[in-house]
Amino acid sequence: MDIFDITIVGAGPVGMFAAFYAGIRQAKTKLIDSLPQLGGQLTTLYPEKNIYDIPGFPIVKAADLVNNLEKQLRTFSHTYCLEEEVLELKQHEDYLELVTNKETHYTKAVVLAIGNGSFQPRRLMLDEAEHFENHGIDYYINDLMKYAGKKVVIAGGGDSAIDWALMLEPIAAEVSIIHRRDNFRGHEHSVQKLKESTVNIYTPYILKELHGNEALEGLTLQKVKSDETITVGVDYLIVNYGFSSSLEQLRSWGLESTRQAILVESDMRTSVPGVYACGDIATYDGKVKLIATGMGEAPTAVNNALHYVNPKNRAQPGHSTSLFPQI
């Protein structure tokens, strides 16, 4: 039986940084993720998206952030287990057992960095929506140039919808955004930029009908609390209604949780001994869900997990200049 010091579940940006930090602490580390590549949602859903709230980066593309994190992470010879979904967590006297769809892993401590858990996009609930999926209706953007010279409509009112509209503005022939409320939910600065842009803003409108044969060609929009409708020509409709996630599997492991996250203490420990959490999956009073927040929580989770494994391991180590092995 090969028992690791610490196993990080989740290889998004927070999990990657947690694994890197575990390497600084010279812990025998394993990283498990259900996806085939590192980076989590940044790689799978938003590789082209610009991120503005990472310390030290005025602006960084999601794919570039993941590449930098991977370069940092590869400093250490960790064990990577991709395309593995953790199905069970079993407690033993001196170790924890993680059962995946492929094999069984043994570890002294676990750090959960799984974002919002398993997720699926909230799909458009209209007739023909499924027919037009991948034929004009997209839920993810992997390549901005796909929309070059096209008429693009974005449905949604949050930060992601606004960000995509602004990023596509100089690329697409025409960009429109539809939101069912008068006011957007995004950051004030982004909303102001949207209003100053050439993006067509339809508020408060909802999607009423889809038009086209093999491919999507047009949309009918209906004004909220009104019979007024308008028709908009379109090549691509990007639906950005967010994602639905499930924590049912985590609850079956005995983890105390809210509806959307795992409850943690200030040292990032969960209700299960030896299991810690960081990033969006972890919550406490005053929690703000940002990548930057999660990256701050990651060393807290790792340090306290290693202290749990061996009380001689300091939970308050020195600075990285003194911890980092000479390489």
Token duo for residue 289: 């869900």
86 known ligand binder: yes
DSSP conformation class of 234: -
Is 308 in a helix, a strand, or coil? Answer: helix
CB 115 within 8 A of CB 13: no
Q: Are 153 and 176 in contact (CB under 8 A)?
A: yes
- In sequence order, the 6+-apart residues with CB closer than 8 A to the CB of 207 are 124, 126, 155, 178, 219, 220, 221, 237
Task: Please tell me whether 72 is known to bind a ligand.
Answer: no
How far is Cα of residue 179 from the mean position of the Cα atoms in its chain? 23
Integer Cα distance of 239 and 226 in angstroms: 23
Q: Is 182 annotated as a binding residue?
A: no
117's torsion region: left (phi>0), alpha (psi -120 to 50) or beta?
Answer: left
Q: Known binder of ligand: residue 2?
A: no
- Where does 25-169 have alpha helices with state H? 40-44, 62-73, 129-132, 159-168
The verdict on whether residue 57 carries a ligand-binding annotation is no
Backbone angles phi, psi at 140, to 5 degrees: -130, 155
> Counting Cβ atoms within 10 Å, is residue 67 exposed (0-12), middle (13-18) or buried (19+)?
middle
> Which residues on adjacent β-strands are paired with residue 54?
57
120 annotated to bind ligand: no
Q: Is 41 annotated as belonging to a binding site?
A: yes
Binding residues for FAD: 33, 41, 46, 86, 119, 280, 321
Binding residues: 33, 41, 46, 86, 119, 280, 321
